[in-house]
């Protein structure tokens, strides 16, 4: 099946919203909620109706302490859901670090690969992405947090390795996207340093995705449980967009679509002298 092509937002457009669809029993925020195929499809439809630009489907939790899932189990969770969601007509991203899963998902029509290990976990991943001809999100990750390191320098080195792997596999630069990996192998202070200095990533010349939806970095500041972190998530993602992110990965689609539309209207008026457009 040919994939529904994903096209990054143009200058002046609203930052794109990637809606999260977890088909896992143990994700930190919504584990088990969309595990059944019917529930997953209904949630995908709802996110599309709310304005999601892309749906990100994952079948293995990457929360701290989550049990690893083998390829067979991961595909068993994905298979009943993936093709029906792709058929809805909005680009679909596959959230996996396993090359075999990415290959099968792209063969069904997935439009993007979202790799939380930035092509560095599975040596076959870069070639799979190149063969599929889809964009890839390369996320910064660490096995554990270390408060003593310069996290920005660590990210630079990590992304340089990822970009080298992408180049060797002949993944065009216009299909490479960086993700700073909020909450992955970072202390709380490092998460906020990365947010504050997100424009640092501009030196790599690639678009940036930010995903902090409902994460502990928000709960720690606001002292609210996972399900009550919408307002904090909006704040972090609006700040990330101001600092250069062109995609945000979220659980709550409509609030982000609307907040980012207001931000885009302000940008058009302030920087481009264009009239403010109505509607999405």
Catalytic residue annotation: 215, 249
Q: Two tokens at 133?
A: 């001809």
SS3 string, 169-207, reads CCCCHHHEEEECCCCCCCCHHHHHHHHHCHHHHHHHCCC
Q: Which whole-number Å values give the CA distances from 110 to 58, 85, 96, 202, 234, in the listed order?
A: 12, 10, 12, 27, 27
Q: Two tokens at 109?
A: 């029509």
| Contact status, residue 229 vs residue 237, Cβ threshold 8 Å | no
Cα 80 to chain center, whole Å? 22
| Contact status, residue 116 vs residue 155, Cβ threshold 8 Å | no
């Amino acid at each position: 099946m040919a994939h529904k092509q994903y096209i990054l937002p143009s200058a002046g457009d609203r930052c794109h919203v990637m809606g999260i669809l977890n088909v896992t029993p143990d994700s930190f925020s919504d584990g088990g909620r969309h595990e059944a195929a019917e529930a997953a499809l209904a949630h995908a439809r709802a996110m599309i109706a709310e304005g999601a630009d892309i749906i990100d489907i994952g079948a293995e939790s990457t929360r701290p302490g989550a049990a690893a899932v083998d390829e067979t189990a991961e595909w068993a969770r994905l298979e009943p859901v993936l093709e029906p969601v792709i058929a809805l007509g909005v680009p679909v991203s596959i959230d996996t670090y396993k090359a075999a899963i990415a290959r099968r998902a792209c063969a069904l029509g997935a439009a993007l690969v979202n790799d939380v290990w930035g092509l560095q976990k599975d040596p076959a991943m870069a070639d799979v992405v190149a063969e599929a001809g889809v964009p890839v999100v390369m996320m910064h990750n660490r096995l554990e947090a270390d408060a003593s390191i310069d996290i920005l320098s660590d990210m630079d080195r990590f992304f340089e390795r990822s970009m080298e792997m992408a180049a060797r596999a002949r993944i065009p630069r216009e299909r490479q996207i960086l993700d700073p990996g909020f909450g992955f192998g970072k202390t709380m202070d490092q998460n906020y340093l990365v947010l504050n200095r997100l424009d640092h990533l501009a030196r790599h010349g690639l678009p940036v995705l930010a995903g902090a939806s409902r994460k502990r970095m928000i709960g720690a500041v606001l002292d609210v449980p996972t399900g009550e972190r919408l307002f904090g998530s909006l704040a972090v993602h609006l700040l990330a967009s101001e600092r250069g992110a062109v995609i945000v990965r979220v659980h709550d689609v409509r609030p982000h679509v609307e907040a980012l539309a207001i931000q885009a209207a302000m940008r058009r008026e302030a920087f481009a002298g264009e009239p403010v457009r109505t509607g999405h």
